[in-house]
Amino acid sequence: MNARAAILGAVRDGLRGASVPPLPPPVEPPAPLAVAERIARFTAVQQKLGGVVEAVADRRAACARVGLLLAQKGAAVVAASDAPLLAGLGDYVPADVALLPPDAPRERLLQADIGVTGAQWGIAETGTLVLASADERHRLASLLPALHVVVLPVRALLGTLGEAFAALQRDGAPAARTITFVSGPSRTADIELTLVVGVHGPKALHVLLVRDDG
């Protein structure tokens, strides 16, 4: 105890009279990006990551574009989430393409050539898509097929990762049990850092930015 008291006494003596440096001034958060700038940044980053971004006018135009992609890619099976923006997608799917709902058996979903989902948020600074399970059943459709097509409303395109984290909070808790962040096609690096695309997920990502999702 004597040694302990001596140590504590030395600490007290050392701290006595010590000045505490003032706290640095708070850092002002950056001004929110304008819509056009968010779109431009998101598109540029996605392109660097190997993704494709395309603007469409509205929900019907998005569904029509998906139907055209199915025909162009020669898809036989497509898996779709239950996103409201995809309502009516079946009207645009070619007659020879099987359209699977999100609750289809896993074995059937594994056969899908293309997965079509929505996204709850997009992040302009990182080109990231945020998929929350509480708002949409899309996990397998976004992870299993070789091509992942995402329909994202422009209004859901945020500027920064911090804005996304704030949007994902509800009453101080995460908004969903499963939150997936997608930045471009799937990538895997081995121990020698050799990057391979599409080993554990989609080999390609196509984002349709919907200007009017009403």
Question: Domain-by-domain residue ranges, the chain?
Answer: 33-212
**Buried-exposed string 26-39: b where 16+ CB fall within 10 A, e elsewhere:** eeeeeeebeeeebb
pTM for the whole structure: 0.80
Alpha carbon distance 3, 155 (integer Å): 65
Q: What CATH topology corresponds to 33-212?
A: Rossmann fold (3.40.50)
The average confidence (pLDDT) of the chain is 87
The gap from C-alpha 3 to its chain's centroid, in whole angstroms, comes to 57
* pLDDT tens column, 90-119: 999 999 999 999 889 989 988 999 999 999
Cα distance between residue 114 and residue 65, in whole Å = 13
Task: Give the model confidence (pLDDT) of 116-167 as tens digits.
Answer: 999 999 999 999 999 988 888 887 888 889 999 999 999 999 999 999 988 8
